Amino acid sequence: MSVLPRWTVKLRGRQKLLKTAAGKTAFWRARWLKAPADSEERSRAFHMLKAAKGLLVKRRAQVAEAERVVARHSASTEFGGSRAVTDEVIRIVDNRAPVTSRKRAANHALSIGNPSSDHSGLNKLADAVDFGIAEAHALKNEISRKLGGPAQLEDFGTFTTRRNGHSFRVQIIAGTHGTGPHLHVGVKRQ
């Protein structure tokens, strides 16, 4: 079975497990709240709740991972597949910062000023995304790690990631540059 159907099944299974874990957490929270103070019952409910919460965190991470795999494999083929990678970056950032720029027309002032930019419409195999967030070095490292790059990526650093049989060069810039404070992620098919 290829990746997409296998992970789609896996995602459904993981979603069910997450639901169960959420139910158990709610159950033990209710028991804990109801139990009389200093009772054996309350102490037991406390430990069960703690374990349930731990499992819930793990289940959430498993669902998130499966969602990313499914999304990656049902991905856009625009810009040589680079759009699929920037789409993935947007899902990783997950509303922690707004998207402030993406692909720009070749005749856009910023494209003319910097024709080699991954944002520029001239570069048909590249895509880029900017987020309105200053000095987001931790987020830079998180994106790198989740795309299969180094856990600590130097600013302006690049790495290669493989998607759907192709290699993509990813560059991430968190420090202030170009058009003011933002987090830049540029992707180009090799």
Contacts with Zn ion by CB under 5 A lie at: 128, 130, 184
Residue number with CB closer to Zn ion (73 or 181)? 181
| Tokens encoding 57 | 């965190």
Q: How far is CA 94 from CA 90, 97, 139, 163, 189, in A?
A: 6, 8, 11, 20, 24
Residue number with CB closer to Zn ion (128 or 187)? 128
- Chain residue at closest Cβ approach to Zn ion: 184
Residue number with CB closer to Zn ion (17 or 178)? 178
CB of 138 to Zn ion, least distance (A): 19
| Tokens encoding 81 | 């597949």
> In the β-sheet with 126-131, what is the strand arrangement from edge to edge?
99-101, 126-131, 183-189, 166-173, 158-163
Residue number with CB closer to Zn ion (58 or 177)? 177
Q: Is the CB of residue 187 less than 8 Å from the CB of residue 173? A: no
Closest CA to 138 of 126, 157, 151: 151
Dihedral pair phi/psi, residue 152, rounded to 5°: -120, 100
CB of 128 to Zn ion, least distance (A): 5
CB of 77 to Zn ion, least distance (A): 22
CB of 95 to Zn ion, least distance (A): 19
